Structure 1
Amino acid sequence: MAMTAACAGPGWGRGMRTRTLAAACVAAVVLAACGGGGGGGSASTPAQPAAPPVATPVPPAANPTPAYASLFASDTPVREQIQYTEADGTLVTLLGFRPVPRHSREGGEPWTDPVDRGPGNHFAFPTHYFQNRTFGIVIRDEVPAGRQRINAYLRSNAGVMVDNAFNAFRRIDPTSAEYGWQLNTGFKHPTDGSTRCGASTDIAQMCVAGDGNAVIRDYWRYGDEQLYIGNTRPDNRLRMGDKIEMTGSIFLEAAPGTNNALIDGGPRRYYSMEQMYVVGKGFVPWYGTAPKLDTTPLPEETLLGGQASVSYNYSEEPHRVFQQAATNIGISNVQRFVEGRRLFHTSFLDGRHSESPNVNPVFTRHANQLGARFNQERCLACHSLNGRSPAVEAGDPLNAMNVLTAAANATGAAPDPVYGLAVQQVARDGNAPNHAVRIQSFETSQRRLPDGEVVELRKPVYAFSGPVPAAYSVRQAPQVIGLGLLEAIDEETILALSDPDDRNGDGVRGKPNWSIDPETGARHLGRFGWKAGKGSLRQQSGTALLLDMGVTSPVYKNAACQRAPASAECKAGNASTAITTEDIAQLTDYLQLLGVPAQRSLRSGYTDGTITPPEHEVDEQTVARGQQLFAQAQCTACHVAQIKTGARHPFAELRNQTIRPYTDLLLHDMGSEMADTLAEGEAAANLWRTQPLWGLGSLKYVQKGTGFADASSVRYLHDGRARTVSEAIAWHGGEAANSRTRYEALPRADRQAILTFLESL
C-alpha cells in the first residue's frame, strides 16, 4: 500500500506536531487500503480527497514544556533478552509459556454442535499456575544462516519437568478439527539422555526436542498444502517466511504413588499456549484461515499492541481476552507475569485467590493486610476480569468505583478533612461511620440527531451517607490491558502531539498533565488515570493499593498518606509496609506485560458445517468503511490511531512496537457537561485524558464474564454514565464538539459503520 509523501515523514507512527496532518494521514492510509470509494461508490461513502492538507508551520509554544525527568533512562538495560542473532546469522528466539487446561481451538462443544454450550478452557489459568509451572522454548533457527536446521530447547523457570512433549505443524487435513499435530516428539537432556529438564540458562544444558540433531529439517506442511490448499512450492525445503505452529506440554515430577506434583501437591500435567513461529522472523500473533482455522500471521494493521498483541481466540473465551500476557513474552518474564497475577487476584483480607479459593494455595503473607477502611479487598474486584468496574444503577453502592475527594478550591492536592484523598466506603469495624456512596437517581435528557434518531442521556446524582465533600470526582475503574505499552512511549512522542494554544487552528488543544513521583519527588509526564494524574504503573499501583484497599507499599508507606500525603508522618513511613518492594515490582510487572487483543477486523476460516462464534462474526467491509469515516470525522485528532513505543523500557517485549491504542494520552476540554468539581494537577475539572479505545469491542464479553455477550454490563466515560458508545459520543463537548457534530450529521448507516469499527477494536 502506497503512503502519501505527507504521511511518510519521520513523524508518521510516532506522533505528529500538527493534529490536522495526523488525522489526514490516517484518513489517507485507510482510504488507500479500502481502494478509495469502498462499497462500490455508494452515496453514503465519502469520496477520497485529492490530497491531504499540508501542515502549516506553527510558532513556538507560548508556554514551554517544564523541566521533567524521563521515566526510563536511555541506557536502561532489558530485564530479559527475547531474541538475538548469532555471528553466522542464526536467529535465536526465546518465548515464555504458561500452563493451560485445554487446546486453543477446543470450545465448550464440538465444532459441528449447533448449540453453544459455553466457553472452552484454553485461556483459563489452572490451579497452582503461579508455582513451578511456567517454562520457555528457545528456537535456534539456522535457516537465515543458509542451513536446513531448526532446533527447539526447553527451559523450566523453577524445578524439574519430566516427559515433556514438543508439537509442531498443525494438520489441515479433513480429519483434523480442534487439534492434531504432524510432528510429535519429546525433549531429552543433552548430557544424560533423560527426560528431566531443569532451569539452566545455558543452552548446552537445556533439554532439546527430538534426537538432538535438529527437530525440524524440512517443511512438514508440504504434503498437506499440496493436497488441501493447492500449494505450488516445488519442494519441502524450509524457506524464510514459512509458518510453523508449535506448542509444548509439560509434566511435573509426581509424588510416589500419586498423580500429584511432588513439589507442591497440585496437578502435574498441563498443555500450553499454541504459538505461531515464522522462519527467519520469530513468534508472531496469529489468526485462523481456511481450511480448518489454519494458523496464519495477523496483518500488521490488526496488531493493536504490536507484537505484544494477543492472537485471535478460538476456544470461545472472549471474556478472558484481557487476562492474557503479551504474545512475545520472554521466558523469565512469564513467571514474573503469573506471580504478579496471583497478587492481583489475592484478597488482602484472607489471602485467598479469587479463582478456586479452596484449592489454590493461600497467600498467607497478605492475609489481614486490608486497611481499616477500604472499598474492595482485591484488585480484581474493581477491574472485572481485567476490565472495568461492574455496571451500577440507581440505588447501587459505588464501592467498586473510586470517589476522589478534595477540600474546597483545592487542586487535588489538599485532602478532604473527613475522607482524605478518596472515600473509603467500607469499614472493618462495624461501629465506624457509614461512608457509603450510592447513585441516588439519574437526570435524563435527550439529544436529537439531524435524521431524527434520539439518544437518551443519563447523568448520575450521588447520595453520600457521610458529609458531602466540597470537591469530588467519581471514576470507574478502567480496563488494564496494554498499560505497559503506554508506559513505553517516549515522552517526546507524546509531547509532540500537544498543542495547548491551538497553534494549528483545528480547535483541538491537547495538553499534558504532570505527576510528582511520591517516592523520588521527580516530575514525570502523566499517563495513567482518567486525568493522566499518575506518571508510572508503579505509582498507579501504589495509589490504588492505598486508596481502594488501605494497603501500604513502598509508594505510600503509611496509612496517613491517604489523609495527609504531604505530612511528615506520611513521608517517614513505617519500618515495614504491607506490600514489599518485591510485591510492588511483581504487581507492576504483571500490568506491564498484559497484552492487547488484536483487532477483530478479519473473518476467520471456519469450515463449512461448523458454527462461527459471535465474537468472530465480522463484516470486513463495514469495519474498513467505519475506520475511514472515524478518521474523516477527525476523531483521530485526539484518539490518535498509531504511535510507536520507544527503546528505553526495561521489558524488551514493549520496545519499538508500532501500536494502535487510539489515544494521545493528553488532556482535552470535554465541555461543561462532562466536568465534575475536582481538579488533578494540571487537569481542571473539565479536562480529561483521551481514553484508549483498544479492547472496546471485547467489553461486552469481559464485563459479563461468562463467555456470552451482554452489552448492558458495560459502562462508558469516566463516571460510567453512558450505557452505549452512541451515548458516550453524544456527551462529547468542548474540543470534541466538532467531531461529534460531524458524526451526528452522517447517515444512520455510516454512523453504524463507525460503531462497527469501534466494536472491532
Structure 2
Amino acid sequence: MTSLGAALGLLLSAAAPPPDLQAPEAAPAPPPVEDPRKVPAARSGGETTVYDTSHNAFGRALANMDPGRWTPMADGKRLFMKDWSRGPQAVAGPLSNAVRCNGCHFKDGRGRPLAELGTEAPLLVRLSVPSRRVQGGVPEPTYGGQFNDRSIPGVPAEGALEVAYAEVPGTYPDGAGYVVRRPDVRLARLAYGKLSAHTQRSARISSPVFGLGLLEAVPEEDILALADPDDRDGDGVSGRPNRVVDARTGEPRLGRFGWKANQPSVRQQAARAFSEDLGLTSPLYPERTCTAKQARCRAQAAPQGPSLDDAALDSVTLYLRVLAVPARRDVADPTVLRGQALFQQVGCATCHRPSLRTGDVPDLPELSRQDLQPFTDLLLHDMGEGLADGRPDAEASGSEWRTPPLWGLGLLEAVNRQVRMLHDGRARTFEEAILWHGGEAAGAKERFTRLERAEREALVTFLRSL
C-alpha cells in the first residue's frame, strides 16, 4: 500500500502535511504541449482531479481539499491499512476474508496480482437462499451471507475457494480470432457441512475505492432521471435503480455502491465490508456474522461494544470520501478521439454515461458542484445469461449489474499490475470485457464486433485514456 504521504501527496495547497507523514512523491511532469490542468476533457473529477499516472494514482487526496482535513484523512488511512488481527487490542472477527481493508483494495484499487496472493483467494463469494419475506433472499443458514476462507486460531475457516477457467474461442466478422474465459468457482473443503440445496452464490472481485465521495454527491433525482425501466425510448436499454435498506433507519434508499448497487452510502458500504470481509462489528452492523451452526465461532468472546465505534467508522468513511479521481490522459490524441466517437456510436455511452454533476455537499464542500466524467449511470442493467450469477440482491435480479464507473480504467495496470475486469475478474483485456456484454448491452457488443480491427483498437485506446 502507498505511504500516507504518497496517498495524500497531490493535495494542491500550500499547507504542510502532518509531521508523521512522509514527504509526498514528486508528481509526474505535465505533458510538454499543454498543462493538463487547463484541459477540461482531462478533468475526470472536476476541480478535485489529481494528475498522477504512477502506482499511487488511486491513493491521492482531492486536489482542492481543505488543508484542515489532512490529519482526519490520515487517521482514516491508518484504519484502512490496520491489521486487525495483530497487537494487544486485536479484534479481528473469528471468520473473515482478510485482516485489513487494503488486503483486498490494493493501493486503493483492486486486488493484487494473482502471483502475489499466496494462499489468499482472488475472489470472495456472496451466499443467499430465496425468501418469501425478504426481497433478494436471506443469508445461507450454515455459512451466512459471505463465504469466509480465513479464521482465527481455534475456529475452523468455512473452507477454501477453488477457481478454474475454461477458454471460449470466438471469431470477429472480419475473421480475426479472440478468446474469452469463463470462471468456475467452487467452494471446497466445507468445514460446517453441506450448503443448502437452494443456495445462490456470486463470486466477486474487489472494486477500486477512489471517487466514492463524488458518486455519493450526485443528486438522487439526477440518477433517477436516467432510468428507463420500461424502455420507453425503444433503444433496448432499460436501466433502473436498486432500492436497498438503510441500516441506520430501516427505510428504503437508492443503492449506489457495490456490483449490484446494494449499498446506499459510503459509510454503510464501509461498515458492511468491515462486517463481512473482516468480521468486525460496528454501530451499523453490531452482530458478528457467525451462524447458529458455527458453535466455535459463536463461543469466541466478543469485545465490549462494537469493534469500530462511530468515530472510527466516520474516520474511515472520510478517508474514502476524499480519495480523488486521476485525470484522463492523451485526450487530444487523434486515435483517442476516434475511439471516443466510436464508444458513442456503438452505444456504450447509453449506460456508461460520460458525465454527471454533483450537488451541494455541506459537510464536504470540496465535492460540491463538480462536473464529473465517471462513465456510469449508477443504475442496474440486465447483462444477459453470460454474466448472470443467478443471485438477486435487494431489487436487483440475478442477471442485473450496476454500470461500473470507467474512470481510472487505463491506470489499473500501473497501480495493480494487472487488468482484471467485470464482477468476477474474468476479463483480462478491455476487449474481453466488452465481448462478455449481453442482455441490454448485446446490441452495443454486436456493433463493436462489426467494427474494423483498427476501429476496435481505437475504441480500446480511448478506454486506456480514462
TM-score normalized by the length of structure 1 = 0.55
Change (3 A) 1:560 1:386: closer
Per chain length, whose mean CA-contact separation is higher, i.e. which structure has more relative contact order (CA < 8 Å, sep 6+)?
A: 2
Flag the 1:526–1:135 CA change in 2: closer, same or farther, 3 A.
closer
Determine which of 87, 91, 99 is the counterpart of 1:377. Answer: 99
Match of 2:326 in 1: 597
Question: Per residue, is there more helix in 1 or in 2?
Answer: 2
Cα distance in structure 2, aligned partners of 1:515 and 1:646: 22
Instruction: State how far apart, in whole Å, the 2-side matches of 1:501 and 1:531 are.
Output: 19
Q: Secondary structure at the match of 1:404?
A: strand
Distance of aligned partners of 1:271 and 1:718 in 2 relative to their CA distance in 1, 3 Å threshold: closer
User: Which residue matches 1:715?
Assistant: 420
Q: 1:325 aligns with which of 51, 61, 64?
A: 61
Query: 1:390-423 deviations in whole A, cap 9, x for unaligned?
Result: 3549x98663532110124674441101111111
Kept in 2: contact 1:674–1:686 (CA 8 A): yes
- C-alpha contact 1:447 1:730 (8 A) present in aligned 2: no
Which whole-Å deviations, capped at 9, do the CAs of 1:614-656 have from their partners, x for residues lacking one? Answer: xxxxx81111111111011111000000111111452111110
The one of 313, 322, 325 aligned to 1:584: 313
Which residue pairs with 1:357 in the alignment? Answer: none
String of CA shifts for 1:326-377, please: whole Å, max 9, x gaps.
Answer: 10101222222111111111100115xxxxxxxxxxxx6xx41100011110
Match of 1:419, SS state, is coil
The one-letter code matched in structure 2 to 1:719 is: D
Aligned to 1:520: 249
**Are 1:297 and 2:2 an aligned pair?**
no
State the partner residue of 1:679.
392
TM-score by length of 2: 0.89
Report what 1:670 is aligned to.
383
| C-alpha separation in 1, matches of 2:109 and 2:4 | 17
Q: Give 1:529's aligned residue.
A: 258
Are the structure 2 counterparts of residues 632 and 433 from structure 1 closer, same or farther at C-alpha, using a change threshold of 3 Å?
A: closer
Pick from 426, 439, 442 the counterpart of residue 734 of structure 1: 439
User: Which residue of structure 2 lines up, in the alignment, with residue 690 of structure 1?
Assistant: 403
Q: Contact conserved, 2:126 with 2:202, CA < 8 A, in 1? A: yes
2:149 equivalent in structure 1 = 425
Give the equivalent residue in structure 1 for 2:85.
Answer: 349
Q: Could you say which structure has the higher strand fraction?
A: 1
Give the aligned partner of residue 724 of structure 1: 429
| Aligned counterpart, 1:753 | 458
Check conservation: 1:392, 1:398, Cα contact below 8 A: no
Give how far 1:729 is off.
0.5
Q: CA, structure 1 residues 562+684, in 2 after alignment: closer, same or farther (shift >3 Å)?
A: farther
1:477 alignment partner, one of 181, 187, 206: 206
Question: Is residue 310 from structure 1 mapped to residue 189 from structure 2 by the alignment?
Answer: no
1:464 aligns with 2:172: no
Instruction: Give the paired residue count.
Output: 449
Closer/same/farther in 2, CA of residues 295 and 449 from structure 1, 3 Å limit: closer
Instruction: Describe the SS at the equivalent of 2:401.
Output: strand
Partner Cα separation in structure 1 for residue 12 and residue 311 of structure 2: 23
Residues 658, 563 of structure 1: alpha-carbon distance in 2 compared, 3 angstrom cutoff = farther
Question: How does 1:129-148 map onto structure 2 within 5 Å?
Answer: none
Please tell me whether the aligned partners of residues 185 and 203 of structure 2 are also in contact (alpha carbons under 8 angstroms).
no
Identity among equivalent positions (%) equals 37
Q: Which amino acid aligns with 1:694?
A: W
Q: Secondary structure at the match of 2:56?
A: helix
Write the mapping of 1:539-558 to structure 2, written as runs, cut at 5 A. Answer: 539-558=268-287
Q: Is the 8 A contact 2:10 2:24 kept in 1?
A: no
Give the distance between the partners of 2:219 and 2:456, measured in 1 at CA.
34
Q: State the partner residue of 1:744.
A: 449
Q: Among residues 89, 110, 113, which one is paired with 1:388 in the alignment?
A: 110
CA shift, 1:549, in A, is 0.6
Please give the secondary structure, in 2, of the residue aligned with 1:451: coil
Distance apart, 1:714 and its partner CA: 1.9
Which residue is 1:34 aligned to?
A: none
Give the CA deviation at 1:720: 0.8
2:139 is equivalent to residue 415 of structure 1: yes
Change (3 A) 1:371 1:694: same
Deviations 1:171-198 (A, max 9, x none): xxxxxxxxxxxxxxxxxxxxxxxxxxxx
Instruction: Give the deviation of 1:431 after TM superposition.
Output: 5.6
Q: Match for 2:93: what amino acid? A: G
Change (3 A) 1:574 1:499: farther
1:109 corresponding residue in structure 2: none
Task: Give the gaps of 5 or more residues in structure 2.
Answer: none
